[in-house]
Structure 1
């Protein structure tokens, strides 16, 4: 079956050419789960990014950075930042546009382990791996004591969920990807998950219909 990074990479190539791409998460049986915001794949900031970028400290690791929208914005301010993504196509585009990134699984060894001032999980990346507590524990190990973990979440009351999904592109004739583990986390569920990862909530805010939480190690 097609790897998820292959479906994502093909969509990125079409976006770069100005062609349609419509990624969504589907259940293994093809039932729609969630559409993905196409604006997240572009270099320009999307509504709601402003306050998030302002809160990212100097020395932020952007996990699941994609083509480097936020990594590039942080680098442009002079802050030290590193994007991390498993997609070779995303990494290629990010570097092409000046964003410092590495192609790596975020659960594998990364530069600056334990010394980052902040870790960023935007655009639903709290779902990576399908186990938010494991992911938050990984973030805690990446940041220094007192460091910040900035997380984009679903609105309060939306409910949290984890399970297998596949990645499909409705603008392509290609098949959906092989299943992989993913999760959704609602804002009102994050505090309990964070506590299990030895993190605590310091701030919650909303902008342009998006919800964000700042955690501290």
Structure 2
């Protein structure tokens, strides 16, 4: 029997699609050194959490959500009257986002994107600072996407860490994909990379066990709101 779930999933998709299969049990990021990190897949498919809402409060449209997954943030922003577009390399992520009323493109953040240098907010949350395994290159690229007065909202690890490695997705049924480059950063490493790229850390905050920061071009008339101004 073919279900809607099966129609949205293609076994030949990028291994990231394994992490988008809601209800199929936990999905892990397996590192080449043997470590295993459980991915918060359940959060991707639910309504925005309290921590997510601290991010939403800081978003000025138009917003670009890099690595949008099933699109919970895009949909939440649209429901608030804030234009938001998701980008993701996984066809399933884009299909889920659009099927539930969001807007998304199947594209890498390193591909040509609409309105480059025109986005007021670019999101890199849910671990997406790790995309490509090169946080400096990723932040340089995202800095080139925002408007002169725009901001990046970045989620980092709660503890100080700076790791670059190869990893792959796997589940409890033994399914896995090929290795790909990934990275993890804490606040200290983010601050150092931002300074090298002439980006200013304009706000830092934690909510529960999650940690975030906003970055803007140095010398810009930065106008992303902080929580106290909302």
**Structure 2: gaps spanning 5 or more residues:** 1-10, 218-230
Q: Would you say 1:167 and 2:169 are equivalent positions? A: yes
Q: Is the 8 A contact 1:43 1:68 kept in 2?
A: no
Paired residues for 1:118-133 under 5 Å = 118-133=121-136
Q: Would you say 1:183 and 2:183 are equivalent positions? A: yes
Residue of structure 2 aligned with 1:63, choices 50, 63, 66: 66
Q: Would you say 1:9 and 2:9 are equivalent positions? A: no
Residue of structure 1 equivalent to 2:95: 92
Q: Would you say 1:24 and 2:40 are equivalent positions? A: no
Deviation at 1:173, TM superposition (A): 3.6
TM-score by length of 1: 0.90
Paired residues for 1:109-148 under 5 Å = 109-148=112-151
Cα distance in 1, alignment partners of residues 127 and 52 from structure 2: 13
Residue of structure 1 equivalent to 2:228: none
Deviation at 1:11, TM superposition (A): 4.5
CA deviations on 1:61-110 (whole Å, 9 max, x unpaired) are 00000010111111111111110000000100100001111110110000
CA deviations on 1:167-193 (whole Å, 9 max, x unpaired) are 1112x342x210100000001221111
Instruction: State the 4+ residue runs in structure 1 displaced beyond 4 angstroms.
Output: none
RMSD: 1.7
**Structure 1: gaps spanning 5 or more residues:** none
TM-score by length of 2: 0.85
Deviation at 1:155, TM superposition (A): 1.4
CA deviations on 1:4-25 (whole Å, 9 max, x unpaired) are 9544324434x1xxx3321111
Q: Is the 8 A contact 1:134 1:197 kept in 2?
A: no
Say how many residue pairs are matched. 207
Deviation at 1:42, TM superposition (A): 0.4
Q: Is the 8 A contact 2:97 2:103 kept in 1?
A: yes
SS at 1:192 equivalent: helix
Q: Would you say 1:149 and 2:177 are equivalent positions? A: no
SS at 2:57 equivalent: helix
Cα distance in 2, alignment partners of residues 21 and 8 from structure 1: 15
SS at 1:67 equivalent: coil
Deviation at 1:166, TM superposition (A): 1.1
Cα distance in 2, alignment partners of residues 89 and 61 from structure 1: 18
SS at 1:45 equivalent: coil
Deviation at 1:28, TM superposition (A): 3.3
Cα distance in 1, alignment partners of residues 19 and 194 from structure 2: 33
